[in-house]
Chain A
């Protein structure tokens, strides 16, 4: 399965809906998408991972890279994820402390620091 990406704007947030598998082969596409959004001035991102079937450390690296980019512009990067097997990877690597993880897009969009 390949990676699917779509973006939409909700208020001042840009929601990136990701589907499929994020691994060493597909992660560069996600990286390009995040870089492009930041370069276009979108600094408050919500990455919806509900449609993600597989995530590995390459994908984590891309998300960390995205977070660094938005933080350079005082932005934010929030994740939406309810899948235990995906959440486990964030816990193992300690990244639950780095990313705000929400249970719904509405929740992530409404959140403020």
Chain B
């Protein structure tokens, strides 16, 4: 079971909330302070992408689910959208498509343990970070 789970309407104004909650839970789980900025940014990117997929796919009623799980040695984050089957943007034509490419580039550059998948319901981004052993000792 997730330590904290967040589900929000796929709207841009809620992405900041998801970022702040993810960073707070990660800090509490013992993720190193130096990595929290990366966690915040990666979750923000994943949620922005999810919101963008809903908007570009014309899905107005969907939600984004963010699951934050404190495992023994890793802190796991899953961001799942309900935008439906993979939407393939037409690169170079649409400015939003450029942003989607940039978003994935940022996540890929930040997160070592990353998995981007797509099911019938929507996309799932799984990321994890190590939990500091020192933090657990306290």
Q: Do A and B come from one complex?
A: yes
> Considering the chains assembled together, what is the distance between the CA atoms of A63 and B135 in angstroms?
38
Interface string of B31-42 (1 = CB under 8 A from A): 000000100110
Q: Is B95 an interface residue, CB under 8 A from the partner?
A: yes
Contact-residue size bin, chain B (C-beta under 8 Å from the other chain)? 20 to 34
Query: Interface of chain B, helix or strand or loop or mixed?
Result: helix
With known contacts A57-B45, A57-B48, A24–B15 Cβ distance under 8 A = yes
Instruction: Across the interface, name the chain A residue whose C-beta is closest to B108.
Output: A92
Interface flags for A10-41 (1: CB within 8 Å of B; 0: not) read 00000000000101110000000000000000
Count: A-B pairs, CB below 8 Å: 61
Q: Judge whether A97 is part of the interface by a CB distance below 8 angstroms.
A: no
**Cα–Cα distance between A65 and B99 once the two chains are bound (Å):** 10
Taking Cβ atoms with an 8 Å cutoff, the residues of B that contact A are 12-13, 15-16, 19, 37, 40-41, 44-45, 47-48, 51-52, 95-96, 98-99, 102-103, 105-106, 109-110
Give chain A's interface residues, CB within 8 Å of chain B. 21, 23-25, 54, 56-58, 60-61, 64-65, 85, 89, 92-94
